[in-house]
Amino acid sequence: MYISGISNLDPNLIIYGLLFVIFFVLIQLVLSRSLRDKNSASIIAFCVSLLSIYGISKTGFDIIGLFSNIGINNDIIYNVLPFIILAGLIYLVIKVKMRYILTFLGIGLIIGSFFVYKKGLVLGIGIGVLVLGLILFGLEARRARKHAVYLR
């Protein structure tokens, strides 16, 4: 009975599960660096990740159709792409400073807003994230001049 239940899983459900794990790890990592209480960071990261996946699933965003329209085979999507994305995101968070991540994410969201249905929402989020990244750049420059303390 258990094996037949696993074989009936929808591929979109598996991709949503992987996206949940990726979102949870990234949000928890960012919050654990800024909050002293690690339990609160984990709970907040869980709730935000769950809500983001719920929002993606309720909007009807077709992840499989996105890649098949480009011409990528479905086998590559299911087997290779999640590992590449996960490894890339882990490397990005470890090696790149947060101000760079936020700045490039904001620019990517602003550019991506031209290709989505909810342009205003994505554009607003992109501008907010870009402004946050630029504020971190300003704080870094100010602290480097005064105290020689560098932000991550």
Assess whether 13 and 80 both reside in one domain: yes
CA–CA separation, 15 vs 39, rounded Å?
27
DSSP code at position 60: T
Please give the tally of structural domains in the chain: 2
CA 146 from chain centre, in angstroms, equals 33
Assess whether 10 and 79 both reside in one domain: yes
- List the domain range (segments joined by +) for residue 77: 1-95
CA–CA separation, 37 vs 88, rounded Å?
27
Assess whether 112 and 42 both reside in one domain: no
51, amino acid identity: L
Assess whether 109 and 136 both reside in one domain: yes
CA–CA separation, 49 vs 47, rounded Å?
5
**pLDDT by 10s per residue, the chain, length 152:** 444 555 666 777 777 877 888 888 888 888 888 887 777 888 888 888 888 888 888 887 777 777 677 777 767 666 776 677 677 777 666 666 777 878 888 888 888 788 777 788 888 988 998 898 888 888 877 777 776 555 55
Assess whether 106 and 52 both reside in one domain: no
Assess whether 124 and 103 both reside in one domain: yes
Assess whether 11 and 54 both reside in one domain: yes
Domain final residue, candidates 95, 115, 141: 95
Assess whether 114 and 57 both reside in one domain: no
Residue 44, Cβ density class (10 Å: 0-12 exposed, 13-18 middle, ≥19 buried):
middle
pTM above 0.75, yes or no: no
